[in-house]
Amino acid sequence: MYHETTEEKTQAIEKAMQFDWSLQEKLEALKDSKRGLDSIITSPRPQSIMAILNYARTSAEVEQP
Protein backbone atom coordinates (compact mmCIF):
# COMPACT_ATOMS: atom_id res chain seq x y z
CA MET A 1 0.00 0.00 0.00
CA TYR A 2 2.86 2.39 0.79
CA HIS A 3 5.43 0.58 -1.39
CA GLU A 4 7.58 -0.16 1.66
CA THR A 5 8.35 -3.78 0.81
CA THR A 6 10.97 -5.24 -1.44
CA GLU A 7 9.95 -6.45 -4.89
CA GLU A 8 10.20 -10.06 -3.71
CA LYS A 9 7.92 -9.46 -0.72
CA THR A 10 5.46 -7.51 -2.84
CA GLN A 11 5.21 -10.41 -5.27
CA ALA A 12 4.74 -12.88 -2.41
CA ILE A 13 1.97 -10.73 -0.94
CA GLU A 14 0.22 -10.42 -4.29
CA LYS A 15 0.46 -14.17 -4.84
CA ALA A 16 -0.94 -14.89 -1.36
CA MET A 17 -3.82 -12.48 -1.96
CA GLN A 18 -4.84 -14.33 -5.14
CA PHE A 19 -5.95 -17.27 -3.00
CA ASP A 20 -6.82 -15.68 0.34
CA TRP A 21 -10.02 -13.62 0.34
CA SER A 22 -9.40 -12.57 3.92
CA LEU A 23 -6.14 -10.86 2.94
CA GLN A 24 -7.89 -9.13 0.04
CA GLU A 25 -10.62 -7.84 2.34
CA LYS A 26 -8.08 -6.59 4.88
CA LEU A 27 -6.14 -4.75 2.19
CA GLU A 28 -9.30 -3.13 0.85
CA ALA A 29 -10.28 -2.05 4.37
CA LEU A 30 -6.84 -0.50 4.85
CA LYS A 31 -7.06 1.28 1.49
CA ASP A 32 -10.50 2.66 2.38
CA SER A 33 -9.15 3.90 5.71
CA LYS A 34 -6.18 5.53 4.01
CA ARG A 35 -8.44 7.31 1.52
CA GLY A 36 -10.54 8.60 4.40
CA LEU A 37 -7.50 9.85 6.27
CA ASP A 38 -6.18 11.61 3.19
CA SER A 39 -9.39 13.60 2.88
CA ILE A 40 -9.64 14.73 6.51
CA ILE A 41 -8.77 18.36 7.15
CA THR A 42 -8.48 19.31 10.77
CA SER A 43 -7.54 22.38 12.70
CA PRO A 44 -7.41 23.09 16.41
CA ARG A 45 -10.40 24.63 18.15
CA PRO A 46 -10.12 28.40 18.73
CA GLN A 47 -10.24 27.74 22.48
CA SER A 48 -7.13 25.55 22.21
CA ILE A 49 -5.26 28.21 20.29
CA MET A 50 -6.19 30.87 22.83
CA ALA A 51 -5.14 28.64 25.73
CA ILE A 52 -1.73 28.09 24.14
CA LEU A 53 -1.27 31.79 23.41
CA ASN A 54 -2.32 32.76 26.94
CA TYR A 55 0.06 30.21 28.43
CA ALA A 56 2.91 31.47 26.24
CA ARG A 57 2.11 35.06 27.22
CA THR A 58 2.07 34.35 30.98
CA SER A 59 5.19 32.18 30.73
CA ALA A 60 7.08 34.94 28.92
CA GLU A 61 6.03 37.48 31.56
CA VAL A 62 7.29 35.28 34.39
CA GLU A 63 10.66 34.62 32.75
CA GLN A 64 11.47 38.29 32.12
CA PRO A 65 13.25 40.12 35.02
From residue 15, alpha-carbon distances to 25, 32, 51 in Å are 15, 21, 53
- Whole-number pLDDT of residue 22: 94
In the structure, what pLDDT confidence band is assigned to residue 63 with cuts at 50, 70 and 90? Answer: low
Spatial contact of 42 and 9, defined as CB atoms under 8 Å apart: no
Spatial contact of 13 and 5, defined as CB atoms under 8 Å apart: yes
User: What mean pLDDT do residues 36-61 have?
Assistant: 87
In the structure, what pLDDT confidence band is assigned to residue 38 with cuts at 50, 70 and 90? Answer: confident
Cα–Cα distance, 3 to 1 (Å, whole number): 6
Helix (H) or strand (E) holding 43: none
Spatial contact of 16 and 23, defined as CB atoms under 8 Å apart: yes
User: What mean pLDDT do residues 14-30 have?
Assistant: 93
| pLDDT at residue 52 is higher than 70 | yes
- Whole-number pLDDT of residue 35: 87
